[in-house]
């Protein structure tokens, strides 16, 4: 009987310890939950400030620029992420200043990116608060070595000048780039050779040619396919 009493008292003590430990763990998990909520709010705030697209369709793969190839007509960079990290041909590449370019070649650990200013780069674009699609194409650099592009098929009713240039954004057509990411600004427009539309030069972010870090938009459906393969 004495042994039963010792056993009961021991069990009660263990139960008290378990309850105390459970309370400590609950308090810990509440703190973790609060931290996660704070981190989530901060991520949403930064995405809003930077103008990053929603994470519903893409995840961001952050990469470092490890090589530049800047010619008069072609302009590419090499980044330290590749197929191993889920990157694929045509993936959109962005940074805090907007569009960087598009993945044009992938290796296992690295990828090549055609810059927004490269003549090989084309994309559907539209002006801010104007849904009519235009054709944007890279045009290398100007005489001051600043990255530039051109637009075609601009309607004749559009007006712009250097003091209030029109802001050019992605349209989302084609799937690689979500809508609303900044391409650049258009300070002037003039009639094209058909006389039906206008064309103009696009001023791009001056940081484009010296960029050190980018974010690649990797579609979530491809990420799932990679996970299924493993």
Does residue 138 have a pLDDT over 70? yes
- pLDDT tens readout for residues 3-59: 555 555 557 777 777 787 787 777 767 767 766 666 666 666 655 555 555 556 788
Residue 99 sits in a domain whose CATH number is 2.40.10.340
Sign of CA dihedral 160, 126, 91, 112: negative
- Residues 106 and 131 occupy one common structural domain: no
Residue 205 DSSP one-character state: P
Mean pLDDT (whole number) for 46-73: 75
Of 13, 28, 50, the domain-final residue: 50
Contacts of 8 (CB under 8 A, 6+ apart): none
- Residues 143 and 80 occupy one common structural domain: no
- Residues 16 and 64 occupy one common structural domain: no
Decide the pairing of beta strands 134-141 and 122-127: antiparallel
- Residues 161 and 179 occupy one common structural domain: yes
Pairwise pLDDT comparison (72 vs 113), residue with the higher score: 113
Does residue 189 have a pLDDT over 80? yes
pTM for this one? Answer: 0.72
Q: How confident is the prediction for the chain on average, in pLDDT?
A: 83
Q: What are phi and psi of 190, to 5 degrees?
A: -145, 160
Q: Tell which phi-psi region holds residue 93, choosing left (phi > 0), alpha (psi between -120 and 50) or beta.
A: beta
Q: By C-alpha distance, which of 155, 158, 154, 76 is closest to 118? A: 76
Domain boundaries, position 168 = 122-207
**pLDDT band with cut points at 50, 70 and 90 for residue 211:** very high
Number of domains, the chain: 3
Mean pLDDT (whole number) for 133-151: 91
pLDDT value at residue 8: 54
- Residues 89 and 130 occupy one common structural domain: no
Contacts of 215 (CB under 8 A, 6+ apart): 52, 60, 61, 62, 63, 93, 94, 95
């Amino acid at each position: 009987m004495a042994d039963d009493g010792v056993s009961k008292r021991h069990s009660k003590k263990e139960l008290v310890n378990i309850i105390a430990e459970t309370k400590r763990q609950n308090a810990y998990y509440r703190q973790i939950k609060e931290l996660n909520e704070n981190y989530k709010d901060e991520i949403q705030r930064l995405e809003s400030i930077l103008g990053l697209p929603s994470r519903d369709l893409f995840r961001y793969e952050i990469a470092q620029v490890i090589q530049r190839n800047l010619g008069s007509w072609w302009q590419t960079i090499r980044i330290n992420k590749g197929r191993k990290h889920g990157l694929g041909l045509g993936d959109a590449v962005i940074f805090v200043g907007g569009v960087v370019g598009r993945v044009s070649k992938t290796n296992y650990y690295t990828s090549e990116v055609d810059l927004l200013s490269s003549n090989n780069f084309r994309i559907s674009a539209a002006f801010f608060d104007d849904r009519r699609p235009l054709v944007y194409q890279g045009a290398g650099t100007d005489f001051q070595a600043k990255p530039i592009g051109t637009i075609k098929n601009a309607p004749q009713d559009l007006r712009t000048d250097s003091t209030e240039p029109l802001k050019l954004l992605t349209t989302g057509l084609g799937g690689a780039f979500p809508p609303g990411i900044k391409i650049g600004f258009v300070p002037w427009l003039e009639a094209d050779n058909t006389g039906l539309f206008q064309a103009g030069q696009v001023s791009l972010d001056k940081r484009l040619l010296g960029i050190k870090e980018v974010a690649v938009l990797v579609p979530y459906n491809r990420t799932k396919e990679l996970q299924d393969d493993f």
